A and B are shown apart, each in its own frame.
Chain A
Amino acid sequence: MKKIGHQDPLWVKAIIHALLITACLITIYPILRIMTISLRPGDRLMSTSLAIIPPDATFLNYKAALFEKDFLLWLWNSLVITLATAVIGLSLASTSAYAISRWKFPGRNAMLIFLLGTQMIPAAMLMVPLYLLAAKFGLINTYRGLVIAYSVSAVPFSIWILKGYYDSIPTTLEEAAMIDGASRMYTFWKIILPLTTPALAIAFLFNFMNSWNEFMLARIMLPKAGMFTWPLGLQSLQGQFTTQWGVYAASSMMISVPVVALFLYSSKWLVNGLTAGSVKG
């Protein structure tokens, strides 16, 4: 992209910054409120104060989450499942997307419509049949069922993203390599995949977020306290009537920080990875 010669006059700049700052405040304030609650001492969680750092701030809730609850165990379980499934999901999607991008085979359009269709199934519709299926194969109370389910569940969207990105890579690259005698899969592995890094990063991120945040399926598939993933753990802090809001907020903060960091780190690819395929202008 070329640098555009002229810049906005000062008053336009001022308005733009004012608008952006307002938008940022609206965006970040609710998140800061979680932090505020996590810092309040346990006996006064409800307050009409709007101060972001409460005057009597304390880290007791963080201490409670870390040392009195199985917080680290929940996080560990989630992390193991999530990383494994994100890697599997990515390998499944990247190969399929490549085939769909490069070959016009019979049934290709039907496949694309099918992928789109998978996004339309109401989640509530899947719960009971998936549980029955898992029970049939003895996958209840194990991580196996979840690993299989999560591995595939973000595949449609990943294929979508990756296919768009492959489309934007000219086929001449592969053709040249193949004239030199390289096999198709070697070219894919050595030439195409490295070029796809932004889209791969995005697909990985989607797979990651998808399993990291999943709650409904985990609830019925993991009926054992020691096996909880973090969403189940957080849920256990909520009682029928009373919730340990302080500990809840502290845990939420600690869970969000690494994910947000990962997200922001990969956001440099986010902008290109999501749209590359669709823009040809």
Chain B
Amino acid sequence: MKKVLVALLVLASVAAPLIAGGQQGGESDGPVTISLWTKEGESDGALQWVQSLAADFTAQHENITIEVLNKEVEALREDFQTAALAGTAPDLLWSVSDHAGPFTTAGLIQPVDDFIDTSKYVESVVMNGSTWAVPIASGNHLMLMANKKYVSELPKTTDEFIALAKSLTKGDMYGLAYNLGEAFWLAPWLGGFNGSVFAEDGVTPTLDTPAMLNTLKFLRSLKFDHGVTPVESDYAVADTLFKEGKAAMLINGDWSIGGYKEALGDDLLIGRLPKVSATGKYPAPYTSGVYFFIPADLPAEKESAVKMFIEYVTSEEVQSEMLANLSRLPGLKAALSSPLIENDPLMKGSVAQMEVGTPMPTVLEMRAVWDAINPELSAVMAGSETPEEAVKKMQEAAVNGIANLK
């Protein structure tokens, strides 16, 4: 038996270098690798852009490598929490403001006040007196888009809007298409009807209100009374209809402008959602943006590299490049005065819409509100629930959901 043991030990010592070769050595002061998780995907070219930024940055700073990994928004949050629990979190996050609530509550990210000069940027995520994120892009808001083949001028009020949409709906052609079942598409109208998802304190849900009721009734009437939208339409359907010229108007976000410019060319028209005739108020889409978050456990030796990369991405040059390539509004104030915005009617329309937008709540409680609105909105739009029932259920679900978080 001893022979076998000796043989095994010899074998083990021979093979040891084999496996050790694959292992990563500890980081010294020399080369630094920054792992960056981004929510940017391939389909709109944003991931490729992030990758090219990382490569350019490494070309300038030879001993810093940026490893880019794309994760879908929800997966990014889940996996970041799990990784932080195990102490293997990435070094930098590039994601949406929704994450600020959970991450600050759990103590997973650190304030950025010491990293950057926050006054150079547009309004960022501020909670408990600290700034928690560095803006990369601002906006992320919904707006009204139209195809010039059918619409020469965007409607000013909802009455005009409905009349126009009705006149355009015939055959396999729809006056309006949007993502019917998503709360994010309901939010602008809630603002237009003088409502808000939270009370003054910013954490108590106020969904069982006349404003919400009117909003639901309005959205419901678009489909059932006026028949101007498809019977069921998710994001992909609305997107396809608009691209194929089968929907005259569309409500979609700034992230999609690039794609429509390509599909419709000069026929694309962008501007504010029409004033709600009943209240005389503009709909207020949620504005947020895309941000850098810095994990709380970032090792000290990586701090300067992370800081340099953030500064690089939010430099005026790169920000203008983003504006030109991806049609996203910059997070750096200096880049907002770019002539690219002034001279481009599409970007001007987007800015006009953003001006009447309202910052999306970033508190943890917002998650419960989203998940409370979505199923009831779907039910109302499916015709299986009245708006009156829906608002009650929404409120109850939101209260329960918030209680569950604690």
Given contacts A45-B240, A46-B240, contact A239 B35 (CB under 8 A): no
Given contacts A131-B82, A131-B86, A135-B87, contact A225 B70 (CB under 8 A): yes
Whether B73 lies near A240 (C-beta < 8 A) is yes
Whether A244 lies near B43 (C-beta < 8 A) is yes
Contact of A243 among B85, B88, B236 (CB under 8 A): B236
Q: Is B44 an interface residue (CB 8 A)?
A: yes
Q: Is A275 an interface residue (CB 8 A)?
A: no
Whether A237 lies near B43 (C-beta < 8 A) is yes
Whether A236 lies near B244 (C-beta < 8 A) is no
Minimum Cβ distance to chain A for residue B7 (Å): 19
Most chain B CB within a 10 A radius of its CB, from A131, A134, A142: A131
Interface positions, chain B 355-397, Cβ under 8 Å from A, are none
A242 to B236, CA, bound (A): 7
Given contacts A44-B244, A142-B22, A241-B235, contact A220 B69 (CB under 8 A): no
Total number of A-B contacts with CB less than 8 angstroms?
77
Q: Is A219 an interface residue (CB 8 A)?
A: yes
Interface positions, chain B 55-108, Cβ under 8 Å from A, are 67-73, 75, 79, 82-83, 85-88, 90
- Chain B residue, CB-CB nearest to A245: B236
Which residues from A are CB-within-8-Å of B235?
A: 241-242
Instruction: Flag B19-59 by CB within 8 Å of A: 1 or 0 each.
Output: 00011000000000001010101111000000000000000
Minimum Cβ distance to chain B for residue A27 (Å): 26
Minimum Cβ distance to chain A for residue B345 (Å): 24
Whether B42 lies near A240 (C-beta < 8 A) is no
Whether A132 lies near B41 (C-beta < 8 A) is no
A134 to B86, CA, bound (A): 9
Whether B86 lies near A219 (C-beta < 8 A) is no
Contact of A219 among B22, B68, B79 (CB under 8 A): B79
Number of A interface residues at 8 Å Cβ cutoff, please give it: 29
Given contacts A128-B85, A242-B259, contact A225 B43 (CB under 8 A): no
Q: Is B255 an interface residue (CB 8 A)?
A: yes
Given contacts A219-B79, A220-B83, A224-B67, contact A239 B243 (CB under 8 A): no
Minimum Cβ distance to chain B for residue A52 (Å): 20
Contact of B35 among A134, A219, A223, A243 (CB under 8 A): A223
A44 to B263, CA, bound (A): 12
Whether B69 lies near A223 (C-beta < 8 A) is yes
A279 to B67, CA, bound (A): 56
Instruction: Flag B330-362 by CB within 8 Å of A: 1 or 0 each.
Output: 000000000000000000000000000000000
Whether A43 lies near B243 (C-beta < 8 A) is yes
Interface positions, chain A 158-189, Cβ under 8 Å from B, are none
Whether A242 lies near B87 (C-beta < 8 A) is no
Q: Is A195 an interface residue (CB 8 A)?
A: no
Minimum Cβ distance to chain B for residue A273 (Å): 35
Given contacts A132-B86, A223-B37, A235-B72, contact A242 B44 (CB under 8 A): yes
Contact of A223 among B73, B79, B240, B256 (CB under 8 A): B79
Interface positions, chain A 118-148, Cβ under 8 Å from B, are 127-128, 131-132, 134-136, 138, 140, 142
Whether A220 lies near B79 (C-beta < 8 A) is yes
Which residues from A are CB-within-8-Å of B73?
A: 240
A224 to B235, CA, bound (A): 29
Which residues from B are CB-within-8-Å of A132?
A: 85-86
Q: Is A238 an interface residue (CB 8 A)?
A: yes
Given contacts A135-B88, A219-B79, A243-B43, contact A238 B255 (CB under 8 A): no
Which residues from B are CB-within-8-Å of A45?
A: 240
Contact of B42 among A142, A219, A239, A241 (CB under 8 A): A239
Minimum Cβ distance to chain B for residue A160 (Å): 31
Which residues from B are CB-within-8-Å of A140?
A: 83, 86, 88
Whether B69 lies near A127 (C-beta < 8 A) is no
Contact of A240 among B41, B67, B83, B239 (CB under 8 A): B41
Which residues from A are CB-within-8-Å of B75?
A: 219
Contact of A138 among B23, B37, B85, B239 (CB under 8 A): B23
A241 to B242, CA, bound (A): 15
A131 to B39, CA, bound (A): 21
Whether B79 lies near A46 (C-beta < 8 A) is no
Which residues from B are CB-within-8-Å of A238?
A: 41, 72
Q: Is B12 an interface residue (CB 8 A)?
A: no
Contact of A46 among B82, B237, B263 (CB under 8 A): B237
- Chain B residue, CB-CB nearest to A132: B86
- Chain A residue, CB-CB nearest to B79: A220
Which residues from A are CB-within-8-Å of B244?
A: 44
A244 to B236, CA, bound (A): 11
Instruction: Flag A45-56 by CB within 8 Å of B: 1 or 0 each.
Output: 110000000000
Whether B72 lies near A237 (C-beta < 8 A) is no
Given contacts A223-B79, A241-B235, A243-B236, contact A236 B41 (CB under 8 A): yes
Which residues from A are CB-within-8-Å of B237?
A: 46
Minimum Cβ distance to chain B for residue A78 (Å): 18
Minimum Cβ distance to chain A for residue B327 (Å): 15
27 contacts between A and B (CB under 8 A): A46-B236, A127-B82, A131-B82, A131-B83, A131-B85, A135-B83, A135-B86, A135-B88, A136-B86, A140-B86, A219-B75, A220-B79, A223-B35, A223-B79, A223-B83, A225-B70, A235-B72, A236-B41, A236-B42, A238-B72, A239-B41, A239-B42, A239-B43, A240-B41, A242-B44, A242-B239, A243-B236
Give me the 6 closest cross-chain CB pairs, A-B, nearest first: A239-B41, A135-B86, A239-B43, A46-B240, A242-B43, A135-B88
